[in-house]
Each structure stands twice: as structure tokens, then as C-alpha cells.
């Protein structure tokens, strides 16, 4: 029998990403669908204060032939600033451990993930260098909230 937990885990397995940030304001911007603040005003923070790690197998398949509205269901992990000075393997191990711990201790639902249009991530698509790329309301739209946000964002 499928329930909300299994549905959420399936969603993450297929279409998940992890947004890692050393800045709570960036986590808040993602939770609030504030694309201007997250993807345009903070472009220089990507790679030095925040990053996105793709984990969903169907999401990765979609990116073989990417399209603008391709959107990940994103779990947010806040880290200390020194995380971004670590080598890749240490960062991956830290994220894996945090993710496993956080997902295991929550009554997880699909609302615990924030949508992130992945081609909007700075550096992932040449077209997103132009601010007008983000003017598409069908892709970069506002959202609604009905539950208090925890470590994982609500949508």
C-alpha cells in the first residue's frame, strides 16, 4: 500500500535534487520561490556559498535533452561556510549523511520539497546569463505554503 511517505521518497528518487547552502537567506529564497534573489541577484554565490546536487534518475534522464521547465523537487540542507572549502568527496559524504539523517527522522510528504527549475541554476544553461531568461511566469512562478518549513522546504 502506498502512503505519503512512500510517495515522497519515490518523488525524490525519480526527480530529486539537494540544494546545499551556507546562507539561510538563499534557503529562504528557494522556499519562497524568490527566483530574483536566488538565481539572479545571488549568481556569484553559486559554487562558493550554495550548490545543487541532482539525485533523481528520471531528472537526470530529462536533462539528456533539457527543456526550460525541467524542475527538480529539492531538499534543502544548510551547512557552515567552511563546507565550500572541502574537497568533493568530503562534501558528498557530508551531504549524504545529513540527507539520510534528515529524511529518516521526518514524517516526509511531497510538500517537504521545493521546486527548482534546474536550467535556471547559474552556469547550467548559457541562456540564463540574461536576466530576461527568468521572466517566463510559466517556469519561474510564485508558490504557496500551507505548512511551516523545516529543514526540507515546503511547496
What are the residue boundaries of the structural domains of the chain, listed by start?
Answer: 4-135
Tell me, rounded to whole angstroms, the distance of Cα 51 from its chain centroid: 8
So what's the pLDDT on residue 148?
37
- Give the whole-angstrom CA distance, residue 100 versus residue 155: 21
The three-state secondary structure class of 124 is: coil
Write the pLDDT tens digit of every residue in 89-105: 999 999 999 999 998 88
- Give the whole-angstrom CA distance, residue 115 versus residue 59: 12
Q: Is the pLDDT of residue 147 over 80?
A: no
So what's the pLDDT on residue 69?
96
Q: What are phi and psi of 107, to 5 degrees?
A: -90, 75
Q: What are phi and psi of 149, to 5 degrees?
A: -75, 140
Write the pLDDT tens digit of every residue in 106-142: 889 999 999 999 999 999 999 999 999 999 999 999 8
Sheet of 71-78: strands edge to edge?
A: 50-54, 16-21, 71-78, 114-117
So what's the pLDDT on residue 105?
86
Please name the residues in contact with 74: beta carbons below 8 A apart, sequence gap of 6 or more: 16, 17, 18, 19, 30, 52, 113, 114, 115, 116, 153
Residue 51: how many CB atoms within 10 A of its CB?
A: 19
Average pLDDT, the chain: 91
CB 155 within 8 A of CB 57: no
Q: What's this model's pTM, rounded to 2 decimal places? A: 0.89
So what's the pLDDT on residue 106?
84
Q: Is the pLDDT of residue 153 over 50?
A: no
Read off the C-alpha cell for 132: 530576461
Amino acid at each position: 500500500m502506498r502512503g505519503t511517505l512512500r510517495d515522497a521518497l519515490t518523488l525524490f528518487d525519480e526527480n530529486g535534487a539537494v540544494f546545499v547552502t551556507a546562507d539561510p537567506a538563499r534557503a529562504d529564497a528557494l522556499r519562497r520561490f524568490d527566483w530574483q534573489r536566488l538565481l539572479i541577484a545571488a549568481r556569484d554565490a553559486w559554487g562558493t556559498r550554495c550548490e545543487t546536487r541532482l539525485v533523481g534518475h528520471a531528472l537526470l534522464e530529462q536533462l539528456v535533452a533539457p527543456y526550460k521547465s525541467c524542475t527538480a523537487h529539492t531538499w534543502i540542507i544548510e551547512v557552515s561556510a567552511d563546507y565550500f572549502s572541502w574537497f568533493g568527496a568530503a562534501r558528498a559524504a557530508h551531504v549524504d549523511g545529513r540527507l539520510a539523517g534528515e529524511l529518516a527522522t521526518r514524517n516526509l510528504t511531497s510538500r517537504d520539497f521545493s521546486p527548482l527549475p534546474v536550467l535556471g541554476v547559474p552556469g547550467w544553461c548559457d541562456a540564463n546569463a540574461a536576466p530576461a531568461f527568468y521572466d517566463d511566469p510559466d517556469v519561474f512562478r510564485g508558490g504557496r505554503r500551507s505548512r511551516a518549513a523545516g529543514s526540507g522546504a515546503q511547496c
